[in-house]
Structure 1
Amino acid sequence: MADTTFDRINTVLSETLGNAKESLRPDHKLVEDLLLDSLDMVEMAMALEVEFQVEIPDTDWENAADMTLAQVADLIDRRLSCARAGDIGDGYYDLTPTAEGA
């Protein structure tokens, strides 16, 4: 069975930032729970772009400090949907995390 977006994010975080994969939960906030600093956030964003082979503009990360891992997974899934639909336009999409991603 294929890994879910969340599983792949967990793998990236464990490999890139040294977090224990089994301890990561969808409701963990990037800064509050995982204690990521600004450098960690940049490293995570770059590693996720490589893992998912998709560009994630800085505008998508504007509220990253308050994002949960579930919201990061939702952001990536929506970014991938835009890419698959050929909607690459100017690179900006309103991918602000939604309540259902919380």
Structure 2
Amino acid sequence: MPNSTHLRVKKILGQVRNIPAEEITDEQVLTDEIGLDSLSLLEVVVRLEAEFRTVIPDSELFRARLRTVGDLTDLTARHIERERMESAG
């Protein structure tokens, strides 16, 4: 079962690309199947940062070589966890 992070990432992708979030799967390719270009990817990342109150540095975003929705979700989850750990101690 998808967790909250997965659902929220798919919701934002759906909003940016005007696709029902329920139709988005982790395996879909961000460029070919979702239709993201570099500008729309940045829009998604800005929305994710606001939604999760985290920062995903541009350098890490491009180094991550995101290919699929699952890749984007994993990157987001790592940053959420990093923020949580830093604020906890």
TM-score under structure 2 length normalisation: 0.82
Letter matched to residue 81 of structure 1: E
Identity of aligned residues (%): 27
C-alpha distance in 2, partners of 1:15/1:32? 17
Q: CA deviation at 1:39?
A: 1.4
Contact 1:14 1:21 in 2 (8 A): yes
Q: CA deviation at 1:36?
A: 0.8
Structure 2 residue aligned with 1:86: 86
Unaligned segments of structure 2, at least 5 residues: none
Question: After TM superposition, what 4+ stretches of structure 1 lie above 3 angstroms from structure 2?
Answer: none
TM-score under structure 1 length normalisation: 0.73
* 1:58-69 map, 5 Å: 58-62=58-62, 63-64=65-66, 67-69=67-69
More helix by share: 2
Structure 1 residue aligned with 2:19: 19
Letter matched to residue 72 of structure 1: L
Unaligned segments of structure 1, at least 5 residues: 88-102
C-alpha distance in 2, partners of 1:7/1:26? 10
Aligned length: 83
